[in-house]
């Protein structure tokens, strides 16, 4: 079974803090994704990566950056957290090309910025 | 911009009833997936359909991909409280990265509540 783990289930941070969210997958997947999920807005793609050292902006990259130094690890960074970044953050991974882009999700990190 | 619209947004039914959730778009997708998400957890993949007209069954759940690959439905027979959750459809979109790479476009979900 694919396992995607996220470093924290719940986080509370103050406005202006730098926040790191870590994601690790154990199935040798090439692709990794970061989403945020908000009521009424659904899942929105922040950044994705198809390979180590590669990163691409998704639909809402502003205020975020990412790092992928190793294949199994994809980190999301909030450079200066703001209250409008309070959300559920979901990491996902998938195989390259095949399996019709099936993505496997971690349990999520519920981030609150006060 | 490709969009997936799900309906209904909310559904509250009694145990034993049947229900259908719809996922519609004006765009063609290379594949379509259904996920179920429980509160405080990440989405879990239920099924992937790739061929127009395809029907897949997973116990009491029946998934159908439209002939034109623009829409899909999820039908649950004799719903049980354990079916409660957020059902998300997601369409596969080919990305131009020199190979068969794809991302997913997600609908906003149908929140299902099955009361005992």
Say what the pLDDT of residue B21 is: 98
Say if residue A44's pLDDT is above 90.
Answer: yes
Distance CA A7, CA B76 (A): 35
Question: Is the separation of the CB atoms in B3 and B29 below 8 Å?
Answer: no
Q: Would you say residue A95 has pLDDT above 90?
A: no
Contact A59, A41 (CB under 8 A): no
In the stretch 67-106 of chain A, residues with CB closer than 8 A to chain B read 90, 92, 96-106
Report the mean per-residue pLDDT for chain A. 93
Q: How many domains, in total, are found in chain A?
A: 1
Counting one residue from chain A and one from chain B, the pairs whose CB atoms sit within 8 A come to 65
Residue ranges of domains in chain B, CATH in brackets: 5-115 (2.60.40.10)
pLDDT at B93: 83
Provide the pLDDT for residue A101. 79
* pLDDT at residue A97, rounded to an integer: 65
Contact assessment for residue B25 and residue B93, using Cβ atoms and an 8 Å cutoff: no
Residues in contact with A114: Cβ distance below 8 Å, sequence separation at least 6, in sequence order: A12, A13, A14, A15, A83
- What part of B 53-112 touches A (C-beta under 8 Å)? 88, 90, 92-93, 97, 99-104, 106-109
Cα of B80 to nearest chain A Cα, Å: 24
- pLDDT value for B98: 60
Q: Which residue, among A101, A62, A91, has the nearest Cα to A78 in the 3D structure?
A: A62
Q: How confident is the prediction along chain B (116 residues), in pLDDT tens digits per residue?
A: 678 999 999 999 999 999 999 999 999 988 899 999 999 899 999 999 999 999 999 999 999 999 999 999 999 999 999 999 999 999 988 776 666 577 899 999 999 999 99
A101: containing domain = 4-113
Would you call A47 exposed, middle or buried from its count of C-beta atoms within 10 A (0-12, 13-18, 19+)?
A: buried
Residue A35 has what pLDDT?
97
Q: Which of A2, A1, A12, A7 is CA-nearest to residue A73? A: A7
Residue A82 has pLDDT above 80, yes or no: yes
CATH number at residue A81: 2.60.40.10
């Amino acid at each position: 079974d694919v396992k995607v783990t996220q470093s924290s289930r719940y986080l509370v941070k103050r406005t202006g803090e730098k926040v790191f969210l870590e994601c690790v997958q154990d199935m040798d997947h090439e692709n990794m994704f970061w989403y945020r999920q908000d009521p009424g807005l659904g899942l929105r793609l922040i950044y994705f990566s198809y390979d180590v050292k590669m990163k691409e902006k998704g639909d809402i990259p502003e205020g975020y950056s990412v790092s992928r130094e190793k294949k199994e690890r994809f980190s999301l960074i909030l450079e200066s957290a703001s209250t409008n970044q309070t959300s559920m953050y979901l990491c996902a991974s998938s195989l390259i090309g095949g399996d019709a882009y099936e993505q496997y999700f971690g349990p999520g990190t519920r981030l609150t910025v006060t | 911009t490709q969009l997936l619209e799900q309906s209904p947004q909310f559904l509250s039914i009694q145990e034993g009833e049947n229900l259908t959730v719809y996922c519609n778009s004006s765009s063609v997708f290379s594949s379509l997936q259904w996920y179920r998400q429980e509160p405080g957890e990440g989405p879990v993949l239920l099924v992937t359909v790739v061929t127009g007209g395809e029907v897949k069954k997973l116990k009491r759940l029946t998934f159908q991909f439209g002939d034109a690959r623009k829409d899909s439905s999820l039908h649950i027979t004799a719903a049980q409280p354990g079916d409660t959750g957020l059902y998300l459809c997601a369409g596969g979109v080919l990305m131009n990265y020199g190979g068969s790479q794809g991302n997913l476009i997600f609908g906003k979900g149908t929140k299902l509540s099955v009361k005992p």
